[in-house]
Amino acid sequence: MQFWLARVVSISGSTITAGGQPFGAAIGGALAEVFDVRTALLLVAVGVATSAIYGWYSPLRAATLPAPTE
């Protein structure tokens, strides 16, 4: 049962990731049209760094998972 659930979670994550790529490309293209390409890449880099810092200091990082039950 656990292997099946892991496959479903993995496939769901892949579908969400692949489905979001066109939106990211459209936002990146719009930023490159409004600003120059270097500024657009800088904005994206700041966004990625901000999300990494938030993830590092997030309370979810210190959360523990419950013990597995069979």
Q: pLDDT exceeding 90 applies to what percent of the chain? A: 46
Give yes or no for residue 70 having a pLDDT over 70: no
pLDDT digits (tens, 9 = 90+) for 10-41: 888 888 889 989 998 999 899 999 999 999 99
pLDDT surpasses 60 at 59: yes
Q: How confident is the model at residue 1 (pLDDT cuts 50, 70, 90)?
A: low
DSSP collapsed to 3 states, 12-65: HHHHHHHHHHHHHHHHHHHHHHHCCHHHHHHHHHHHHHHHHHHHHHCHHHHCCC
Q: How far apart are CA 13 and CA 27, in angstroms?
A: 21
Question: Domain segments of the chain: what residues?
Answer: 26-56
* pTM exceeding 0.95: no
